[in-house]
């Protein structure tokens, strides 16, 4: 908890890059996605995957998939201590081997500020790599009074078109993230939250712009490639 609080103090919840302020993200050329896939029944190893896609074409420019040891146990609220170190290593490898392909922003399969102590995986990875990071979760984390009750389901049903969203406001009154309908073909939303060096509005706009399907393409490609690596 002390380590989370120490790093949490370094999170920037606003746009820090010029491209973030442009209506069509002109100046953004590379978007990264990360994912960890586990072998069923084996919690000690995982396949860590980092991909970099071109923007706006969303074509894969770089991929790094490799088996990594996972030493920290799974503890709810502290998942980042288990997964972030190997993801930081993947980013550092890219910076050394192909520095011209460094992503200008990372999309993370997980939460940012939408976390019991306001410091999820996307914040942790953002602070340690100093890259803009966005948390994109497929399920609602029950924090600060947020619950998937009938009211929440009703609000989700009210999202009729892709790009429509509503804020996730906790009982504290703080907006922790946004619920986004990312594509017309799926009524299941995404839960978008700030990781680091990005505003919530920009995070939602970018996630939407990266979606061909429900899950944004950088995360989807990282997931596809890590699963394929495990199969092989």
**pLDDT above 90 for 71:** no
pLDDT band at 40 (very low <50, low <70, confident <90, very high): confident
Q: Which of 27, 58, 99 is nearest to 218 (CA)?
A: 58
Res. 157 pLDDT band, cuts 50 70 90: very high
How many domains does the chain contain in total?
Answer: 1
The predicted-structure confidence for 188-203, as pLDDT tens digits, reads as follows 999 999 999 999 999 9
Confidence (pTM): 0.96
CATH of the domain at 202: 3.30.2170.10
Reply yes or no on whether the pLDDT at 22 is more than 90.
Answer: yes
> Which pLDDT belongs to residue 39?
86
What is the pLDDT at residue 213?
A: 96
Distance CA 231, CA 209 (A): 30
Find the mean pLDDT for residues 222-229. Answer: 96
The pLDDT of residue 76: 84
Q: pLDDT band at 113, cuts 50/70/90?
A: very high
Cα angle 102-130-72, degrees, rounded to a multiple of 5: 100
163 dihedral zone (left: phi>0; alpha: psi -120 to 50; beta): left
Alpha carbons 139 and 227: distance in angstroms, whole number: 20
pLDDT band at 74 (very low <50, low <70, confident <90, very high): confident
Residue 184 belongs to what domain range? 1-231
């Amino acid at each position: 908890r002390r380590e989370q609080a120490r790093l949490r103090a370094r999170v920037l919840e606003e746009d820090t890059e010029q491209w973030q302020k442009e209506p069509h993200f002109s100046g953004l050329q590379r978007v990264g996605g990360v994912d960890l896939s586990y072998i069923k029944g084996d919690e000690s190893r995982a396949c860590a995957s980092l991909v970099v896609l071109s923007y706006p074409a969303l074509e894969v420019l770089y991929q790094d998939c490799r088996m990594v040891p996972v030493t920290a146990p799974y503890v709810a609220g502290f998942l980042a201590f288990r997964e972030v170190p190997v993801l930081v290593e993947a980013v550092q490898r890219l910076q050394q081997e192909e520095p011209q392909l460094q992503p200008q922003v990372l999309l993370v399969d997980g939460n940012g500020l939408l976390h019991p102590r306001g410091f999820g995986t996307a914040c942790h990875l953002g602070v340690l790599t100093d890259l803009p990071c966005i948390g994109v979760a497929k399920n609602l984390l029950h924090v600060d009074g947020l619950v998937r009750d009938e009211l929440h389901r009703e609000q989700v049903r009210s999202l009729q078109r892709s790009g429509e969203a509503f804020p996730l406001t906790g009982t504290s009154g703080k907006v922790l993230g946004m619920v986004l309908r990312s594509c017309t073909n799926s009524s299941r939303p995404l839960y978008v939250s700030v990781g680091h060096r990005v505003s919530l509005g920009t995070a939602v706009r970018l996630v939407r712009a990266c979606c061909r399907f429900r899950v944004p393409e950088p995360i989807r490609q990282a997931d596809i490639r890590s699963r394929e690596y495990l199969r092989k």
